[in-house]
Amino acid sequence: MIKKIISICLIGILVGCQSKKTAQENNKTANGELTMLVGTYTPAGADAGIYTFRLNTETGTVTPLSKAKASNPSYLTPSADGKFIYAVSEQADETAAVNAFAFDKEKGTLKKLNEQKTMGTDPCYVITNGKNVVTANYSGGSISVFPIQKDGSLLPASSVFTFEGSGPDSVRQKTPHLHCVRITPDGKYLFADDLGSDKIRKFNIDPQADATNKKPFLSIGTPSSFKLAAGSGPRHLTFAPNNRFAYLISELSGKVTAFEYADGQLKEFQSIAADTVGAHGSADIHISPDGKFLYASNRLKADGVAIFRINEANGMLTKVGYQLTGIHPRNFIITPNGKFLLVACRDSNVIQLFKRDSDTGLLTDTQKDIKLEKPVCIKFVE
């Protein structure tokens, strides 16, 4: 009888602790607090490459949490449940890799699980569907697929797709350069932006493929690619919240291309300049959570973010403003509540925090810079 009472008490304590932890997590979310991860380019001998912070999305207050060692983690992505982080090591040799970390989003701490070679140099983008991880390998002209084990660690690459092709820019398009991989909103396809060949390459997804059944995650789609304007240099792709439209920022042309999207097909209907000074350094693209505004960053000249209003009925873009930023705004992100836009300015060694006007889409610098050496990727975990 005594043992039974003790067991009941222990169960009550454990349930109580779990409920308390869940309540704390829900309270943080309700108060607009997110865990923020930042990937950087790391100098030789650096003791860290990934940094974590607590961001209050109501006030814009940022609190440092932790850091983890990684070599050139220039792009990273969290799993859907926030328990794992996958980060590239962007290296120009055989050490190029993708890293798996276990993540405690409350403490902001990362524990490295393992790493796998990407079999393609300069991996610069990574995504996951929870069962597989895919990297875009810029100099390798390839994409690599890695099955995820139950503990979140990665198996060696199960597939490496290497491409051929070139573009008219003899310096920057001599060979294929894969810069972004995105799963379509319906989960059926993967699009891979090839800056070197002026193509968006298409793959079919097998959603059942995992480390256990060893089924191929990707197969060549039909058509195998969508051709873009010669010399445009497609870089990053994003989808509107309504899933009807897709938008591409091209690095070399500096233009945003708008597409209708339906069942794996892209139909172009607009091209509009984000870079109006011929910098040939456009970088990132994101849409506000309400679907009303699109933002695209530009580097090398007049560094900043172009702002467009989206016609939600037909997807057409109208330019409404331009916000100057620090030097080399490679990557940026918008908070889930739409109140702030954060820009990673690589060569100014800061992350700038801008307040968004939800009616006009325009940005105001809050002057709450986060000082960090060579920040190039920002992600949130709720």
- Model pLDDT for residues 356-369, shown as the tens digit of each residue: 999 999 999 999 99
Q: Are 93 and 70 in contact (CB under 8 A)?
A: no
Task: Place 10 in a pLDDT band, splitting at 50, 70 and 90.
Answer: very low
Position 1 pLDDT exceeds 50: no
Measured CA to CA, the distance from residue 293 to residue 295 in angstroms comes to 7
**What tokens were used for 101?**
């970390």
**What tokens were used for 345?**
């300015």
pLDDT at 5: 41
Of the given ranges (29-33, 93-97, 211-215, 219-223), which has the lowest mean pLDDT? Answer: 29-33
What are 239-245's contacts with CB under 8 Å, separation 24+?
239/182, 239/184, 239/185, 239/287, 240/287, 240/291, 240/310, 240/315, 241/287, 241/289, 241/290, 241/291, 242/291, 242/312, 243/185, 243/186, 244/315, 245/310, 245/315
Measured CA to CA, the distance from residue 74 to residue 56 in angstroms comes to 24
The model carries a pTM of 0.92
Mode of pairing for the β-strands spanning 159-162 and 178-183: unpaired
Give the mean pLDDT of 33-49: 94
Average pLDDT, the chain: 94
Give the mean pLDDT of 158-170: 98
Position 17 pLDDT exceeds 80: no
**What tokens were used for 352?**
């700038």
Measured CA to CA, the distance from residue 50 to residue 2 in angstroms comes to 50
Position 3 pLDDT exceeds 80: no
Give the mean pLDDT of 196-212: 98
pLDDT at 159: 98
Give the mean pLDDT of 98-127: 98
Task: Place 2 in a pLDDT band, splitting at 50, 70 and 90.
Answer: very low
Task: Place 31 in a pLDDT band, splitting at 50, 70 and 90.
Answer: confident
Give the mean pLDDT of 142-159: 98
Contacts of 57 (CB under 8 A, 6+ apart): 32, 33, 34, 335, 336, 337, 339, 340
H-assigned helices in the chain? 2-30
DSSP symbol at 80:
T
Q: Are 305 and 296 in contact (CB under 8 A)?
A: yes
Paired strand residues for 3? none
Give the mean pLDDT of 207-213: 97
Q: For 55-88, what is each residue's pLDDT tens digit?
A: 999 999 999 999 999 999 999 999 999 999 999 9
Position 250 pLDDT exceeds 60: yes
Query: Burial level of 272, CB count in 10 A (0-12/13-18/19+)?
Result: middle
pLDDT at 44: 83
Q: Which helix (H) or strand (E) holds 258?
A: strand 255-262
Position 208 pLDDT exceeds 50: yes
Which residue do the tokens 């690459």 mark?
A: 157
Mode of pairing for the β-strands spanning 282-287 and 370-371: unpaired
pLDDT at 168: 98
pLDDT at 16: 52
Give the mean pLDDT of 130-143: 98
Q: For 296-313, what is each residue's pLDDT tens digit?
A: 999 999 999 999 999 999
**What tokens were used for 209?**
């493929």
Measured CA to CA, the distance from residue 275 to residue 252 in angstroms comes to 9
pLDDT at 206: 98
Over its C-alpha atoms, the chain yields an Rg (Å, rounded) of 21
Task: Place 45 in a pLDDT band, splitting at 50, 70 and 90.
Answer: confident
Measured CA to CA, the distance from residue 341 to residue 365 in angstroms comes to 9
**What tokens were used for 287?**
């849409």
Position 186 pLDDT exceeds 80: yes
pLDDT at 372: 96
Query: Burial level of 10, CB count in 10 A (0-12/13-18/19+)?
Result: exposed
pLDDT at 111: 98
Give the mean pLDDT of 279-308: 98
